[in-house]
């Protein structure tokens, strides 16, 4: 049986490895998002553009739960196109603007820059449910 010191060392090592993995994921996502258009990201399954808020509620610990859907005003079908979003994925919602370089989208990117700061028009979170018409 492992001693308490062994357990503490194991947990500290796992925490360090998770932080390194998260930083690498953020860096990889930043590179993809900065070099691709929102439409291309949606075609590759890395973004869902032009989503609308269906419901906002409060979850455990006071976390905001936001349900998003494809409004019929922008899309012929409310069913999401093929995507890679799964529960536990990091996601970002950006404000819908007129510019073609940005749009309302949820992506696997966790931060807008290497410092981890985000602007007022971005909301970051974790996907907790991904069903056909609602994410």
| SS3 per-residue string spanning the chain | CCCHHHHHHHHHHHHHHHHHHHHHHHHHHHHHHHHCCHHHHHHCCCEEECCEEEEEEECHHHCEEEEEECCCCCCCCCCCCCCCCCCCCEEEEECCCCCCCCCCEEECCCCCCCCCCCCCCEEEEECCCCCCCCC
Q: Which of 35-49, 59-73, 113-127 has the lowest mean pLDDT?
A: 113-127
pLDDT above 90: percentage of residues in the chain: 13
| Helix spans in the chain (H) | 4-35, 38-43
pLDDT at 110: 32
Above 50 in pLDDT, residue 116? no
Q: Which residue has the higher pLDDT, 39 or 21?
A: 21
**Can you list the domains of the chain with their CATH numbers?**
4-126 (2.40.30)
Q: Residues 15-28: pLDDT tens digits?
A: 999 999 989 988 88
Q: How far apart are CA 42 and CA 73, in angstroms?
A: 18
pTM value?
0.56
pLDDT single digits (tens) 83-108: 778 888 878 887 766 544 443 344 43
């Amino acid at each position: 049986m492992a001693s308490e010191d062994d357990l503490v060392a194991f947990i500290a090592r796992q925490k360090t490895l998770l932080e390194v993995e998260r930083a690498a994921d953020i860096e990889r996502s930043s590179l993809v998002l900065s070099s691709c258009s929102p439409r291309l990201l949606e075609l590759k399954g890395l973004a869902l553009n032009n989503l609308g808020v269906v419901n906002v509620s409060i979850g455990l610990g006071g976390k905001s739960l936001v349900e998003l859907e494809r409004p019929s005003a922008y899309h012929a079908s409310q069913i999401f196109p093929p995507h890679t979003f799964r529960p536990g994925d990091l996601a970002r919602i950006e404000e819908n603007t007129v510019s073609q370089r940005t749009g309302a989208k949820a992506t696997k990117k966790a931060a807008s820059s290497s410092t981890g700061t985000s602007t007022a028009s971005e909301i970051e979170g974790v996907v907790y449910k991904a069903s056909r018409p609602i994410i």
